[in-house]
Structure 1
């Protein structure tokens, strides 16, 4: 009898732990009329986040699967003068040690390693101004066919993967696309589809990996700053107009394509370079310790 009782108690505890470890939350904005801009502030101290196009017909759709939590996310939204202000914040009230943060950084490989999962859906019928903040984890963003006027991403120790998987351009001109990472890496593909005027990538410790298969529709500047780490950029075809200026120290190795012409101190131009080109791209690269590889 005592054995059966112990088994029952263990099963109850297991179910309680399992249910506690799988907390699901859904957040949604149903307003659809009178919205000229969606200003989204999303902040999570830990997790694996996916942000992309949604097919739910609403300006904002968020599904969260939360592991062991000490506080639930807070969500609010309001419509003021045509701007939908939406805020989702998930704080951590328990500090984690530096060694634990480093173990996440070095040994985590899958979504389950970060306790929480986020699925954020954006609708192509609305214009977005995005301010995204991630603590520890990974963030996958696919902005294919989404009108984004600004996007600022900040992370403490999270890798960022930005893509235009459907090869469909931003339907509006983006003013600024910025990514700032303390410890981690950014991987951004087909950035010509961002249609951005200013792109800024700032990493203290880690790497910046960018690919461009064409130029923007208009002039653009790409600022890349790394304290210690690597910069890898696949440049547009050599017959397109762009200029590259590198600022580096003796502790930084640099690799530049042979097809580029040197016109000044660590300054190079493509074969298609023209100072007055309407779609001129200017790459400004600053690395203290590490390497720069252009191809």
Structure 2
């Protein structure tokens, strides 16, 4: 097997003022130039605090990361590795005051921090002309992820105690079929809008003590499977229209709370289906749910 070319680079990037978000000047922290022969970028982003924004741009450069303070450039680290036709980028974004922040402290801060706390700001611009695998990790703070106009083959989002909102604001579907859509929350909240635009075949949700809300959207284009596990938190699902066949299979305990949508009938042991599924079980959206002490609520549109 041919050895892959590996280039590990740590950047103390530019201090050029590039843009503004929520009234703050943003400075360029990292830029990935156009890469010839690269089919896909595997991007891993980790933030410790503050506000984070991710969206598509019409640009030649595949990736641009901006931050609120040019003095914090050295606190972040960026690693690049090229493997065959894939470019891997690992970006750990933090300001100097949050360099040692860990999960336990993030949970405490989410309960006791004041509302006027100064936040870090991160803006991540992705080219709409590039295919991506995205691995997004948020320790605390807020994140807004807009996947409109992007080509995302795999998506993974994890929240420790952060509030994350994922949407398709331009109402434009993913430019490729997504292999896996994965969201996980510990103490935070993840809100997914218009999941149908992801074109995801496999959807996985894991809830610890926090909450995940999923809006399946007003249309569904493919047979998909949603696998979810809920510990002591909440999973709220806004179902697709009643014309879409849906089957729900539950593995629940006596300590959990399940609220089923009104038009679902019990068709087997811990198995429920809507009328569209009863009429046409071959073309369906399937939910496989495992819940402990938490709650799951299904709601019709």
Taking the TM superposition and a 5 Å limit, the aligned residue runs for 1:38-57 are: 38-57=41-60
Question: Paired residue for 2:212, among 199, 208, 223?
Answer: 208
Where in structure 1 are there 5+ consecutive unaligned residues? 1-20
**Shift in CA distance, 239/206, structure 1 to aligned 2, threshold 3 Å:** same
Structure 2 match to 1:132: 136
Give the match for residue 119 of structure 1.
Answer: 123
> Could you say which residue in structure 1 is the equivalent of 2:39?
36
Paired residue secondary structure (2:149): coil
Larger Rg: 1
Measure the CA separation in 1 of the matches of 2:216 and 2:103: 39
Q: Secondary structure at the match of 2:276?
A: coil
- Choose from 220, 225, 235 the match for 2:224: 220
SS at 2:128's partner residue?
coil
Secondary structure of the structure 1 residue equivalent to 2:139: strand
For residues 108 and 246 of structure 1, do their structure 2 counterparts lie closer, same or farther at Cα, with a shift above 3 Å needed? farther
Aligned to 1:188: 192
Distance 1:41 1:103, change over 3 A: same
1:64 matched residue in structure 2: 67
Q: Which has the higher strand share?
A: 1
Match of 2:241 in 1: 237
Q: What SS does structure 2 have at the residue aligned with 1:33?
A: coil
Separation (CA, whole Å) in 2 of partners of 1:96 and 1:201: 23
Which SS does the other structure have where 2:187 is aligned?
strand
What residue number does 1:104 align with? 109
Whole-angstrom distance in 1 between the partners of 2:117 and 2:270 = 42
Corresponding residue SS for 2:172: coil
**1:26 alignment partner in structure 2:** 29
Cα displacement (A) at 1:231: 1.6
Q: Render the CA deviation track for 1:145-183: whole Å, top value 9, x for unaligned.
A: 211000112232212211111111001110111112221
Alpha-carbon contact 1:44-1:90 (below 8 Å) kept: yes
User: What 5-or-longer segments of structure 2 have no aligned partner?
Assistant: 1-23
**Is 1:150 the counterpart of 2:118 in the alignment?**
no
User: Would the alpha carbon gap of residues 253 and 46 (structure 1) be closer, same or farther in structure 2, given more than 3 Å must change?
Assistant: same
Distance in 2 between residues matched to 1:199 and 1:38, nearest whole Å = 21
Higher alpha-carbon deviation: 260-269 or 75-84 = 75-84
Q: Distance in 1 between matches of 2:68 and 2:127?
A: 21
CA distance in 2: counterparts of 1:120 and 1:227, whole angstroms:
32
In structure 2, relative to structure 1, the CA distance for the partners of 1:235 and 1:109 (3 Å cut) is farther
What SS is found at the alignment partner of 1:106? helix
Aligned length: 271
Does structure 1 retain, via aligned residues, the 8 Å contact 2:185–2:208? yes
Contact 1:162 1:188 in 2 (8 A): yes
Cα RMSD after superposing both structures: 2.7
Contact 1:161 1:188 in 2 (8 A): yes
Deviation at 1:294, TM superposition (A): 0.8
